[in-house]
Structure 1
Amino acid sequence: MSADGDIIHFDNVGLRYGTDREVLSDLTFTLHAGRFYFLTGASGAGKTSLLKLLYLAQRPSRGAVRMFGTDAITLPRHRLPAMRRRIGVVFQDFRLVQDLSAFDNVALPLRLAGHHERDLAGPVRDILDWVGLADRMDARPATLSGGEQQRVAIARAVIARPAMLVADEPTGNVDPDMAAKLMRLFEMLNRQGTTVVVATHDLDLLRKVPESLIMRLDRGRLADPTGALRYPPRAPA
């Protein structure tokens, strides 16, 4: 990470799948450490594709990307796992392991990182309590509601204290009350220093985090050339 707090910088980035036309074009922007970003745009605008670039599931077709002070384009494959461990991801479809309990789903990133079993119980119980699921840690995903599964997915994404959290439509499968609770969880994490990027088409969510910055995609391009705009605080009720 650079001295001025840049955590990610894209320079003239484009992405195409195979020989199709570009789904992302000419993206130049910077994400700063400890900020909260919303990524918006109509369905098909390229939000999920941009998130894939951010959590290193996809490499761009052109352009330059620096992440945590490192050239992500030329990063050797053997260094990708360590870089990815600095990024927590909340997928739209949760991607929980159905045969594992909530506890074991949340513990999975720590186990993959080589943590000893004796060191898992405290942190995993604490994070499940933090998301309001202390009494559901032994439950399998199939027995959890959509909102509960989403909170397990969030707990799994943040258990290793990532430098950045990326969430793809995290409130798309829950009711408005649960959506508000989830956004408060993201705000709490952000206040602890994690950079948060939330992709959403729900513009009402933007008003729930007045100090957030907004990046709007329009047919694969940033609608604002500066890359991000401060959203005004909510008007008094």
Structure 2
Amino acid sequence: MSLNADGEIIHFDNVGLRYGTDREVLSDLSFTLYPGNFYFLTGASGAGKTSLLKLLYLAQRPSRGMIRMFGADAITLPRSRLPALRRRIGVVFQDFRLVPHLSAFDNVALPLRVSGIAERDLEKPVADILEWVGLAGRLDARPATLSGGEQQRVAIARALIGRPEMLVADEPTGNVDPEMAVKLLRLFEALNRQGTTIVVATHDVHLLQKVPDSLIMRLDKGRLSDPTGALRYPPRRATP
């Protein structure tokens, strides 16, 4: 893992974001995320959570300010180097974004195939990650035949197959029942214990108590508050 001297994984300095000529949807964001921590990003609908996540996984560039990721200036970085930076970040989308005509196995294998991994080298890791998320018996199932919770687990497996250093999840429990929501959080916790930095956006305040060691970042009308010291919390040692 390539980090700067302070051990930070992400650093925002006075970041703002606006779409077109509209007013800013995010304003004056300054914070640092450290490796090995579990962060909840919360706030009411329309607070700017999805916009902030887009900045975190480099789908959107800010209108102003500085963003440093893994020790690199993400704003001035040449576009040719952005794909390598993005591969260090796994993303779980709220709407899953599974390819409907592909099986669970092929959906998860897609990032490896795109990156040029040979078929003989991807079969075991894809099968292993699907077993880890509890879908060992559903490798050939297409998304339409899977429940909402199963589809979400396929999406999580696809986000993890490249072994990212940070996982960003946008309302990952929004389309599942409360029991499945807790199971999904346990998957994120297990991944976090292995050293992956987790950022979960949710509007469900009840979930915040389900991960005792989590840090909370709260967005209100595009600005961040810091109820648990998330923006200045030191790195947490991952469990081997």
TM over 0.5: yes
Find 2:225's aligned residue among 223, 231, 235: 223
User: How do 1:73-84 residues align onto structure 2 when only pairs under 5 Å count?
Assistant: 73-84=75-86
Question: Which position in structure 2 is the counterpart of 1:167?
Answer: 169
Q: Which runs of 5+ in 1 are unaligned?
A: 231-237
- Contact 1:14–1:26 (CA under 8 A) maintained in structure 2: yes
Deviations 1:110-166 (A, max 9, x none): 111211110111000100000110110101101111000000000000011101000
What letter matches 2:101 in structure 1?
D
Structure 1 residue 109 displacement after superposition? 1.0
Question: Which position in structure 2 is the counterpart of 1:22?
Answer: 24
Structure 1 residue 227 displacement after superposition? 5.5
Question: Which position in structure 1 is the counterpart of 2:212?
Answer: 210
Instruction: Determine the C-alpha separation between the residues in 2 that align with 1:110 and 1:217.
Output: 34
- Contact 2:216–2:226 (CA under 8 A) maintained in structure 1: no
Instruction: Determine the C-alpha separation between the residues in 2 that align with 1:210 and 1:19.
Output: 41
Structure 1 residue 229 displacement after superposition? 8.0
Q: Which runs of 5+ in 2 are unaligned?
A: 234-240
RMSD: 1.3
Deviations 1:74-111 (A, max 9, x none): 11111111111110000000000111100000011111
Deviations 1:180-223 (A, max 9, x none): 10000000111111100000011111111111110000000012
Instruction: Determine the C-alpha separation between the residues in 2 that align with 1:119 and 1:149.
Output: 24
TM-score, normalised to structure 1, is 0.94
Question: Which position in structure 1 is the counterpart of 2:153?
Answer: 151
Instruction: Determine the C-alpha separation between the residues in 2 that align with 1:6 and 1:203.
Output: 27
- Aligned length in residues: 230
What letter matches 1:66 in structure 2?
R
Find 2:114's aligned residue among 112, 115, 133: 112
Find 1:89's aligned residue among 88, 91, 94: 91
Structure 1 residue 224 displacement after superposition? 3.3
- Contact 1:28–1:227 (CA under 8 A) maintained in structure 2: no
What letter matches 1:89 in structure 2?
V
TM-score, normalised to structure 2, is 0.93
Q: What is the percentage of aligned positions where both structures have the same residue?
A: 81
Question: Which position in structure 1 is the counterpart of 2:189?
Answer: 187
- Contact 2:31–2:232 (CA under 8 A) maintained in structure 1: no
Instruction: Determine the C-alpha separation between the residues in 2 that align with 1:40 and 1:121.
Output: 37
